[in-house]
Amino acid sequence: MARTKDAYVPELIHPDTVDEAASELARLGKDGEAIAGATWVMLGPLYRRPTKMHYVAVGRLPELTNLAVNGESASIGAAVTFSQLADSVDPDGPLAVLNEAALGTPRAIGNVATVAGNICVHPYPAADLVPALLVLDASIDVRNGDVATTQQLAELSNASLGPGSLVTGVSANAISPRALSCHERLTVRASGEEAVASVALAVELDGGAIKSARVAFGALETRSRRCAEVEAALVGGALGDETAIAAGNLAAEALDVVGGPDAPADYKRQILPGLMKRALARLAASGKDG
Asked if residue 239 has pLDDT above 70, the reply is yes
| C-alpha pair distances (Å), 254 with each of 217, 248, 271 | 11, 10, 14
pLDDT, tens only, 17-43: 999 999 999 999 999 999 998 877 766
Cα dihedral value 33, 38, 89, 153, nearest 10:
30
The answer to whether the bond into 123 is cis (omega within 30° of 0) is yes
* pLDDT, average across residues 262-280: 96
Q: Please, which pLDDT band fits residue 9 given cuts at 50, 70 and 90?
A: confident
Torsion of Cα atoms, 204 then 205 then 209 then 215, to 10°: 20
**Number of CB atoms found within 10 A of residue 260's CB:** 15
CATH 3.30.43.10 fits 2-57, yes or no: yes
Contacts 24+ apart (CB under 8 A), 41-46: 43/124
Sign of the four-CA dihedral 136, 18, 1, 29: positive
- CATH class of this structure's domain 180-289: alpha beta
Q: Tell me, what's the pLDDT at 143?
A: 96
- Arithmetic mean of pLDDT over the chain: 90
Q: In the structure, what pLDDT confidence band is assigned to residue 169 with cuts at 50, 70 and 90?
A: very high
**Domain limits, the chain:** 2-57, 66-173, 180-289
Distance CA 81, CA 286 (A): 26
203: region left, alpha or beta (phi > 0 left; psi from -120 to 50 alpha) = beta
Over residues 72-111, the pLDDT tens digits come to 999 999 999 999 999 999 999 999 999 999 998 888 889 9
Question: Burial of 9 by CB count in 10 Å (0-12 exposed, 13-18 middle, 19+ buried)?
Answer: exposed
Do 117 and 129 form a contact (C-beta atoms < 8 A)?
Answer: no
- Predicted local distance difference test score (pLDDT) of residue 162: 81
Give mean pLDDT, residues 228-257: 97
- Provide the percentage of residues in the chain whose pLDDT is more than 90: 77
In CATH, which of 3.40.50.2000, 3.40.50.2300, 3.30.379.10, 3.30.465.10 is domain 66-173? Answer: 3.30.465.10
- The residue type of 282 is R
Give the per-residue pLDDT at 50: 73
Confidence (pLDDT) at 36: 93
pLDDT tens for 125-165 read 888 999 999 999 999 999 999 999 999 999 886 556 788 99
Q: Are 272 and 233 within 8 A, CB to CB?
A: no
